Amino acid sequence: MPVRVPRDGAPPGRAGRLESLTGLRFVAALAVFSLHLALLNRSTPYARWMFRYVVQGGAGVSFFFILSGFVLTWSHPGRDTAGAFYRRRAARILPNHVLTWAGMGAVLAVFTTLPPAGPALGSLLLLQPWVPSPRWYLAMNTPAWSLGCEACFYALFPFLLPLLRALAPARRAVLMVLGVQLAVAVAVLAGPDRAGSTGAWLMYFFPPVRLIEFILGILLALGVAEGRWPRVPLPAAALVAAGAYLAAGWAPAAYQNVAVTLVPFCLLIVAGAQSDRDPRAGRAQLLSRRLPVTLGRWSFAFYLVHFPLLATFGLLELHHPMSGWAAVLNALVELAACLAAAGLVFQLFEMPLERRLRPRPAAGAG
């Protein structure tokens, strides 16, 4: 959904919506999609070639974690309870999660085999990233591991926000520098470990490590709301972030998903928020236009539905391998199918259930 300003924060431009950040959500989801498209279609020649250029697609999750901290801080009402916050978050993520968990279960039951009961239940309960085994954190709908991290972030947010808001600006700046250094240090320490190892789990899946990005997002939002960030031009920030993303694909594996892109992504989020709050920007920004914003609103559904659909396509293609332009056309068809499914899920399932499950505002809430 489009991002709104906090009621106790600085007054924004454009009716309180941060539409550029909404548009950027889809770009991050598309990066993850591209990685999974190559991974789940490795039998086709285009996928083997493509993988070299999308191997860093997991960096899109890093963008989501930073943006999550930013958005929750930016939209946090002045008077709120932990219980109301938890219910809003549950209404936001659980309907799509349960739907796609069941959908992935159907795909596995038809084409292969279901995972053991423990990992499958752990995935449903969003506990999967806490166990250092691919059988757990990749179980069922694989992208849902990041929701397990988000569940951890949500549990801590009502307690983190007052603590971080109370810090002096200089201490927040020091904390941000330490956070970036810690994220890089984790990559250095876990770097030699191969995929599926404990080191790889620690730096990519383990919620307390990924909490660094979420806290950085909180600190960024506090600084922007208070006007403490210098102006960051959105085109320049987008160019730097795109360059860092491309460079990450050629970095050592331990640095691809977080370390190379962390600071550029932070700058891009700041630039997007500043641009949307600037009344002079109007609606001229590309990311603020209807199509990017619509795709951004669909991005959560797209992120969760794409894996079951790609898995289905990939399993079918094992019996009908493609090459050349047929394979490229097939990839475009898969993207279109995932977008169509995301739009339907958003309109017919996600939004109606979220509205029904969200707590009603208390009378007189500010």
Rounded-to-integer distance, Cα 126 and Cα 18, Å: 29
Q: Which amino acid is at 212?
A: I
> Would you state the pLDDT for residue 24?
94
Q: Which two tokens stand for residue 318?
A: 């094992």
> Would you state the pLDDT for residue 3?
43
- Per-residue pLDDT band for 124 (boundaries 50, 70, 90) equals very high
- Per-residue pLDDT band for 8 (boundaries 50, 70, 90) equals very low
> Would you state the pLDDT for residue 127?
98
Least Cα distance to 270 among 228, 220, 312 occurs for 220
Least confident of 4-18, 60-74, 207-221, 344-358: 4-18
Residue 14 pLDDT > 50, yes or no? Answer: no
Rounded-to-integer distance, Cα 261 and Cα 14, Å: 29
Burial of 123 (0-12, 13-18, 19+ CB in 10 A): buried
> Would you state the pLDDT for residue 47?
63
- Per-residue pLDDT band for 16 (boundaries 50, 70, 90) equals low
Q: How many CB atoms lie within 10 A of CB 235?
A: 11
Share above pLDDT 90 across residues of the chain, in percent, rounded to a whole number: 71
Q: Which two tokens stand for residue 184?
A: 């890089």
State the average pLDDT over residues 125-132: 97
pLDDT 10s digits, 58-115: 999 999 999 999 999 999 987 889 999 999 999 999 999 999 999 999 999 999 999 9
Residue 324 pLDDT > 80, yes or no? Answer: no
Q: In whole angstroms, what separates CA 274 from the centre of its chain? A: 21
| Domain boundaries of the chain, sorted by first residue | 14-357
- Per-residue pLDDT band for 19 (boundaries 50, 70, 90) equals confident
Residue 4 pLDDT > 80, yes or no? Answer: no
Least Cα distance to 10 among 224, 266, 270 occurs for 224
> Would you state the pLDDT for residue 97?
98
Q: Which two tokens stand for residue 338?
A: 């995932």
Q: Is the separation of the CB atoms in 67 and 213 below 8 Å? A: no
- Per-residue pLDDT band for 10 (boundaries 50, 70, 90) equals very low
State the average pLDDT over residues 274-293: 73
State the average pLDDT over residues 173-187: 96
> Would you state the pLDDT for residue 144?
98
> Would you state the pLDDT for residue 283?
46
- End-to-end, the C-alpha distance of the chain in Å comes to 21
State the average pLDDT over residues 128-156: 97
- Say what the alpha-carbon torsion angle 243, 249, 254, 255 is, to the nearest 10 degrees: -10
List Cα–Cα distances, 143 to 84, 99, 250, in angstroms.
26, 13, 23
Best mean pLDDT range from 159-163, 184-188, 272-276: 159-163
Residue 18 pLDDT > 90, yes or no? Answer: no
Rounded-to-integer distance, Cα 85 and Cα 88, Å: 5
Residue 289 pLDDT > 90, yes or no? Answer: no
- Per-residue pLDDT band for 350 (boundaries 50, 70, 90) equals very high
Residue 277 pLDDT > 50, yes or no? Answer: yes
- Hey, CA dihedral for 133, 135, 136, 140, is it positive or negative? positive
List Cα–Cα distances, 70 to 125, 215, 249, in angstroms.
25, 8, 26
- pLDDT averaged over the chain? 88
Burial of 272 (0-12, 13-18, 19+ CB in 10 A): buried
